[in-house]
Amino acid sequence: MLIALLPGDGIGPEVIAQARRVLDALAIDGLVYEEGLVGGAAYKAVGHPLPAETLDIARRADAILFGAVGDPDCDALERHLRPEQAILGLRKELTLFANLRPAKMFPELADASTLRPEVAAAIDLMIVRELTGDVYFGEKGMRKTADGQREGYDVMCYSESEVRRIAHVAFRTAQARAKNGGGGKLCSVDKANVLETSQLWRDVVIETAAEYPDVTLTHMYVDNAAMQLVRNPGQFDVIVTGNLFGDILSDQASMCVGSIGMLASASLDSNGKGLYEPIHGSAPDIAGQNKANPLATILSAAMMLRYSLNLPAQADRIEAAVAKALAGGARGADLGGSMSTVQIGDAVLAAL
């Protein structure tokens, strides 16, 4: 089994290193790695954020473990050369259209959430975000209006087939969670009251629901969903939404459980091959200082074992070790503690 390791920029190499330590400790037969350059690190080395060599590694790999991209030194570059184009390019080239972002409150972190403990304790949800459509991939540009003003535009667009395939993933995710004690509920989040794109989204999700009579489907406007994530997050089981809304809501959910440094994610193709990454960014302000929380990346490695490599028992071991480390007081600065990146990795390894 080949794992493509793409550390990227900022704290990416530091958190990837800890995830690899945990994977190595499991001593999984046949697990090998190939490392590639992405993001600002790749641009500085070879002049492009997603070099052909890296894309080749990613295509050959059984799964990809990704760190983070983003480098202030590259902010003035043309958009197609900026570090963030690496992750967008990988999603597009590998058809990674389904993003799974779990948010679950570890009891040990109830005091780290800004929500009341009794509200935060109920959080156990999965956000299914469509990844290859919406304004991120629609036509975009800058132009001059008739009166000479600059105007920027980004087209929000979804085809029926794009909505239908992510809806199937979401319904199947709700079914799988129901088998493991979940609620068998799916909430589709849109803005159908003002956007034609969202009206199509809602119509297609309703049509797809006919194939999943065991899943309870509801709908919610995105502004209300943002409010409900704070007011009563325990009402949600699975949320399915578009690229833009999903990006925002999943980051919001991360703070509901205490820190953006705690949330893992999987980006999957139709065959289950995936790219796994923490949802946080490159955090250049703390890069190289041994301060980053590696738990989201370690939990992303667990998701990789479960969803792409069919090793659920090993994934369970990692997740249990993270919970045990947290129970033992493993906290970085983001969770009000003082442990370093390596020390948190040490705590997980000791628990493992």
Just list the catalytic residues. 136, 191, 223, 247, 251
Pairwise CA distance, residues 318 & 348, whole Å: 8
Query: Are the beta carbons of 216 and 103 closer than 8 angstroms?
Result: no
Pairwise CA distance, residues 173 & 165, whole Å: 13
Among 265, 258, 302, 269, smallest CA distance to 281 is for 265
Instruction: Burial-class residue 284 by CB neighbours within 10 Å (0-12, 13-18, 19+).
Output: middle
Query: Are the beta carbons of 271 and 249 closer than 8 angstroms?
Result: no
Torsion angle in degrees (nearest 10) through CA of 146, 151, 154, 156: -60
Pairwise CA distance, residues 346 & 335, whole Å: 17
List the structure tokens of 146. 């008739």
Pairwise CA distance, residues 322 & 298, whole Å: 8
Query: Are the beta carbons of 16 and 297 closer than 8 angstroms?
Result: yes
